[in-house]
């Protein structure tokens, strides 16, 4: 029974051997590759991605999928089988709708755009980047038309990162969020200013940071027999196999919390990947469902766990052992330091209280560009006006303003909203999980295995069998609702610290 379905599963398992091989090459490139070998690595990866693309879109895949769909109509497929068939059909159609020339043009354009973006940033000259971004925007619009959309072209771009999401729904959520988060951020920043925190003073030896991070990662459930941590300039989490999840972080001698929270963030992604059904590796049911859900897992462990009082009640004494300069600090002082709110021009430096402002700004601009309401040349002034309105300050340069992020140059229009979705989902999932008083109590005593078990059962185990918003509903009783995150921010920044 399910013979046609099983054949399709085998083909996808085969493809997953190649994609996970490419992941290994990619991981090695970021961590250990000698610099003269970059061209050979690019040749290897381009060869593999050609093979993977051919298998994913070839006649064999189509024929096997059609046979399995036919079989499913005649039989009684279970939920997982139905979901996998749905996702495979979606992937095949999506990839077949773009002509090869457009894919290649996009990739070439993005290569040039990345170089131009870097140059423009260095020279603080948006006009260097503008023609490249204009072309990327036009290509994105072209792709959106080919993929198709219900309400507006931005839907098609957003859908690349957040399966099933609609722009209007996101806009609706963000509109609710906007006035309250502006107000909460303003109050939090004011409070932090009027009550300055002690500053951490290095050096915090890197070996000691590594030891602390390792102990913390273990304690929250990261399995080092099925993963590891390395060092890179840009931290990431990548999956090389069903039991091979690799994180990276970076170390600063003057602030151990940067590597610790960075590692907890990536470990959050890693716990999700380690919790996906290993036997379904390479199938939609064994894959993470969306960026907005993935980011909810990383933020849960970084922000809700890592910046909480219960966590530091347990771990602060260990930090004091490793870093003697902390010995005359109290846990309260330390919590106050790590939970300061401050406006920053730069998104990646932003704290929890102000982070979403950066995303709301980008979403609004992206949507207007794609809908043709503003042109690429308008971006610097639109950016600065909105920034002034939301943050009360004006960027001192485009380099610290609309040129700060790499995403657009990487053809990533539609990506940004998933960061805030991640924040909202994290707070909502945390709130739902801790309704169970045993989870709440364990959490307050820094025992996170009940919380992890809840995420395993309610999020990880489902893979991509539910669409993201269906999964949120299943797990929490409602689709993404910004109230939980607003409540979390108010509690953390206006009540607790």
Active-site positions?
A: 266
Residue 14 in the binding site for its own copies (CB under 8 A): yes
Distance CA 418, CA 292 (A): 5
C-alpha distances in Å from residue 385, one per residue of 33, 380, 391, 415, 416: 43, 9, 10, 22, 19
The residues, any chain, with a CB within 8 Å of residue 77's CB and separated by 6 or more, are: 2, 5, 85
Q: CB nearer to its own copies: give 47 or 138.
A: 47
C-alpha distances in Å from residue 384, one per residue of 171, 343, 347, 369, 415: 21, 14, 14, 16, 21
Of 7, 19, 21, 96, nearest in space to 60 by CA: 7
User: What one-character DSSP code corresponds to residue 33?
Assistant: -
Read off φ and ψ for residue 427, nearest 5 degrees.
-65, -40
**Cα 315 to chain center, whole Å?**
26
Site string for its own copies, 20-39 (x = CB under 8 A): xx--xx--x---xxxxxx--
C-alpha distances in Å from residue 318, one per residue of 33, 311, 322: 35, 11, 6
Cα dihedral sign for 196, 234, 113, 159?
A: negative
Q: Considering only residues 228, 386, 440, 490, which one is a binding residue for its own copies as defined by CB under 8 A?
A: 228
Q: CB nearer to its own copies: give 18 or 410.
A: 18
Can you say whether residue 124 is alpha, beta or left, with left for phi > 0 and alpha for psi between -120 and 50 degrees? left
Residue 240 in the binding site for its own copies (CB under 8 A): yes
Q: CB nearer to its own copies: give 230 or 444.
A: 230
Q: Considering only residues 2, 214, 232, 243, which one is a binding residue for its own copies as defined by CB under 8 A?
A: 243
* Residue 67: CA count within 13 A, CB half-sphere: 15
The residues, any chain, with a CB within 8 Å of residue 121's CB and separated by 6 or more, are: 399, 403, 404
Give the binding range for its own copies (CB under 8 A) out of 77-85, 133-141, 217-225, 336-344. 217-225
Residue 227 in the binding site for its own copies (CB under 8 A): yes
Q: CB nearer to its own copies: give 18 or 103.
A: 18
Count of residues engaged in binding its own copies, rule: CB under 8 A: 33
For its own copies, the binding residues in 132-151 under the rule CB under 8 A are none
Can you say whether residue 138 is alpha, beta or left, with left for phi > 0 and alpha for psi between -120 and 50 degrees? alpha
Distance CA 282, CA 495 (A): 45
For its own copies, the binding residues in 280-299 under the rule CB under 8 A are 281
Minimum distance of its own copies from residue 262's CB (angstroms): 20
Minimum distance of its own copies from residue 457's CB (angstroms): 21
Q: Is 48 exposed, middle or buried (0-12, 13-18, 19+ CB in 10 A)?
A: middle
Q: CB nearer to its own copies: give 33 or 446.
A: 33
Q: Considering only residues 2, 7, 41, 337, which one is a binding residue for its own copies as defined by CB under 8 A?
A: 41
Of 80, 173, 490, 473, nearest in space to 293 by CA: 473
Give the binding range for its own copies (CB under 8 A) out of 146-154, 194-202, 226-234, 439-447. 226-234
Minimum distance of its own copies from residue 265's CB (angstroms): 20
Q: CB nearer to its own copies: give 32 or 324.
A: 32
Residue 47 in the binding site for its own copies (CB under 8 A): yes
Residue 40 in the binding site for its own copies (CB under 8 A): yes
Residue 279 in the binding site for its own copies (CB under 8 A): no
Q: Is 327 exposed, middle or buried (0-12, 13-18, 19+ CB in 10 A)?
A: exposed
Residue 187 in the binding site for its own copies (CB under 8 A): no
Minimum distance of its own copies from residue 54's CB (angstroms): 13
Q: Considering only residues 101, 150, 225, 328, which one is a binding residue for its own copies as defined by CB under 8 A?
A: 225
Residue 223 in the binding site for its own copies (CB under 8 A): yes
Residue 57 in the binding site for its own copies (CB under 8 A): no
Give the binding range for its own copies (CB under 8 A) out of 59-67, 221-229, 359-367, 466-474. 221-229
Minimum distance of its own copies from residue 13's CB (angstroms): 9
Q: Are 133 and 377 in contact (CB under 8 A)?
A: no
User: What residues does 231 pair with on adjacent strands?
Assistant: 249
Minimum distance of its own copies from residue 329's CB (angstroms): 31
Q: CB nearer to its own copies: give 11 or 305.
A: 11
User: What one-character DSSP code corresponds to residue 230?
Assistant: E
Binding residues for its own copies (CB under 8 A): 14, 17-18, 20-21, 24-25, 28, 32-37, 40-41, 43-44, 47-48, 223-228, 230, 240-244, 281
């Amino acid at each position: 029974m399910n013979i046609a379905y099983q054949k399709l599963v085998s083909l996808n398992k085969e493809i997953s051997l190649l994609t996970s091989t490419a992941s290994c090459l990619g991981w090695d490139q970021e961590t250990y590759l000698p610099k003269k070998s970059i061209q050979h690595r690019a040749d290897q990866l381009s060869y593999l991605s050609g093979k993977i693309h051919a298998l994913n879109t070839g006649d064999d895949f189509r024929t096997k999928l059609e046979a399995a769909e036919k079989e499913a109509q005649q039989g009684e497929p279970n939920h997982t089988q139905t979901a996998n068939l749905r996702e495979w059909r979606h992937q095949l159609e999506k990839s077949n709708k773009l002509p090869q020339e457009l894919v290649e043009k996009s990739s070439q354009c993005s290569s040039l755009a990345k170089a131009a973006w870097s140059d423009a940033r260095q020279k603080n000259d948006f006009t260097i980047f503008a023609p490249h971004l204009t072309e990327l925007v036009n290509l994105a619009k072209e792709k959106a038309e080919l993929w198709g959309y219900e309400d507006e072209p931005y839907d098609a771009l957003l859908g690349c990162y957040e399966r099933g999401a609609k722009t209007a729904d996101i806009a609706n959520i963000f509109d609710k969020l906007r006035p309250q988060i502006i107000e909460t951020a303003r109050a939090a920043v004011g409070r932090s200013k009027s009550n300055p925190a002690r500053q951490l003073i290095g050096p915090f030896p890197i070996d000691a940071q590594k030891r602390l991070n390792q102990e913390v990662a273990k304690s929250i459930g990261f399995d080092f027999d099925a993963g590891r941590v390395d060092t890179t300039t840009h931290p990431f989490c990548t999956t090389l196999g069903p039991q091979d999840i690799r994180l990276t972080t970076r170390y600063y001698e003057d602030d151990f919390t940067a590597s610790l929270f960075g590692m907890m963030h990536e470990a959050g992604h890693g716990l999700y990947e380690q919790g996906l059904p290993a036997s379904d590796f390479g199938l939609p049911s064994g894959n993470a469902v969306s960026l907005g859900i993935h980011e909810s897992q990383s933020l849960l462990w970084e922000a809700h766990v890592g910046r909480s009082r219960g966590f530091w009640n347990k771990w602060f004494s260990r930090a004091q052992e490793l870093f003697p300069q902390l010995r005359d600090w109290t846990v309260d002082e330390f919590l106050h330091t790590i939970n300061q709110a401050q406006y920053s021009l730069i998104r990646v430096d932003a704290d929890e209280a102000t982070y979403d402002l950066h995303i709301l700004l980008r979403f609004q601009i992206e949507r207007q560009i794609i809908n043709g309401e503003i042109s690429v040349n308008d971006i610097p002034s639109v950016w600065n006006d909105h920034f002034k309105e939301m943050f009360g300050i004006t960027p001192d340069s485009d380099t610290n303003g609309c040129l700060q992020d790499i995403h657009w140059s990487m053809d990533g229009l539609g990506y940004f909203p998933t960061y805030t979705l991640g924040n909202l989902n994290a707070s909502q999932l945390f709130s739902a999980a801790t309704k169970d008083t045993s989870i709440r109590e364990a959490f307050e005593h820094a025992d996170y295995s009940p919380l992890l078990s809840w995420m395993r059962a309610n999020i990880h185990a489902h893979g991509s069998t539910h669409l993201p918003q269906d999964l949120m509903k299943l797990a929490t009783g409602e689709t993404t609702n910004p109230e939980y995150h607003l409540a979390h921010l108010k509690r953390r920044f206006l009540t607790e610290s």
